[in-house]
Structure 1
Amino acid sequence: MAPGKEHLSANFSVLTQKHLDKFNREYQITTFLNPKLPAQNKAVYPFLVRKFPFYTRVCNFANYRVRSTKFLIKVLWFFGVHISQVNPFGLSRINHFELSCRALNRKPDLNVFRYFYEFITARDWYTFAHRKSGPSPSSEEKSSLKNWKDHFFWLDDLCLTTDIAWRFKDQSVDFELKEDFIFN
């Protein structure tokens, strides 16, 4: 059976050099990180050494910028997932949570984030979904984002401030909060 677009090994970039140049100017991606288009016949997986696939929709949907925040890195590190494995919805929720905390003059807290969101599998990717047992920290979210998987290019992994693990499906870790967790 041929893999579908939900699998990393079946996703190819449709970006052109013109689109990549425009994107790099608009989002100020430095040439120091060696942004590079993949070969037309090169899927996103397996990855290139010392590079990672960067999805353009992460910037224009999730408001992500190259040079990650400490909170984003902390979330990725805790869940043992690489930024390339988190879909734009998941990254958007991390950014929205962090911005909301900062707007309230609060430091973003990983346990509070975990109170609102659960870490789930989305085929070969991962995301953060609203916990059904708790209040939703946001409303009016989009539920569909078309063609995000085929708009990627390679970046040097120098912009990741720490070694971020690659999560494999057979890894299981309990991410649940303790029952007595309370926050204000």
Structure 2
Amino acid sequence: MDEENPQEENPSEEGPLRVLKWDLGLFEHITRGFRFPREWDARYPGQNQTAADALPGYITLFEDFFLQGNFRLPATEFMAHILHYYGLHISKMSPPGMVRVRHFDFLCRSHDIEPTVERFRVFYQLIRNMGFYSFGNRASAKKILLNHL
């Protein structure tokens, strides 16, 4: 870190943001398939844009949110609680982080358990990579398997 500015991040730790590599056909499939209303004005990223290059008033959402994380708009209340607790904007969440949140949400609901931030924090901790946030396994969380026969 810079001695004069301790808040400045070390760029060698973060690395540059990767250029978005959406396919136009996939973008159209997602916006139509997930029924994005026209008034949302979803935009395909321009050539050489990164996730940080969204136009003013727009946010970046990754294809993996939808295709691998089973994310849908509008977001669930649990997702809103997670974002609020950690003080994150959804555009700062990485696709693997989204997958973990949605997976936890589904697992809880499939067992008739209300997903809460407190329960989520038992298993996961916030991590940061390349300027985006995700959730890693909390080392102290015991791995268990229950057989309900």
Per the normalisation by structure 2, the TM-score is 0.78
Q: 1:99 is matched by which residue type in structure 2?
A: F
Partner of 1:75: 82
CA contact (8 A) 1:17 1:37 kept: yes
Give yes or no for the alignment of 1:66 onto 2:73: yes
Structure 1 or 2, whichever has the larger Rg, is 2
Q: Distance in 2 between matches of 1:84 and 1:95?
A: 16
Provide Cα deviations, 1:37-62, integer angstroms capped at 9, x if missing partner: 12214333243211101111111111
Q: Distance in 1 between matches of 2:110 and 2:58?
A: 34
Give yes or no for the alignment of 1:15 onto 2:22: yes
Question: How do 1:78-157 and structure 2 match up within 5 A?
Answer: 78-136=85-143
Cα 1:96–1:24 shift into 2, 3 Å? same
Structure 1: stretches of 5+ with no match in the other structure: 139-184
Partner of 1:168: none
Q: CA deviation at 1:102?
A: 1.1
Q: Distance in 1 between matches of 2:30 and 2:111?
A: 32
Cα 1:115–1:40 shift into 2, 3 Å? same
Taking only aligned residues, the RMSD between alpha carbons, in angstroms, comes to: 2.4
What's the secondary structure of 1:54's corresponding residue?
coil
Cα 1:109–1:41 shift into 2, 3 Å? closer
Q: 2:66 is matched by which residue type in structure 1?
A: C
Per the normalisation by structure 1, the TM-score is 0.64
Size of the aligned set, in residue pairs, is 134
Partner of 1:155: none
Structure 2: stretches of 5+ with no match in the other structure: 1-10
Select the residue among 61, 67, 71 that pairs with 1:54: 61
Question: How do 1:30-45 and structure 2 match up within 5 A?
Answer: 30-45=37-52
CA contact (8 A) 2:22 2:63 kept: no
Q: CA deviation at 1:6?
A: 4.8
Deviates more, 1:83-92 or 1:73-82: 83-92
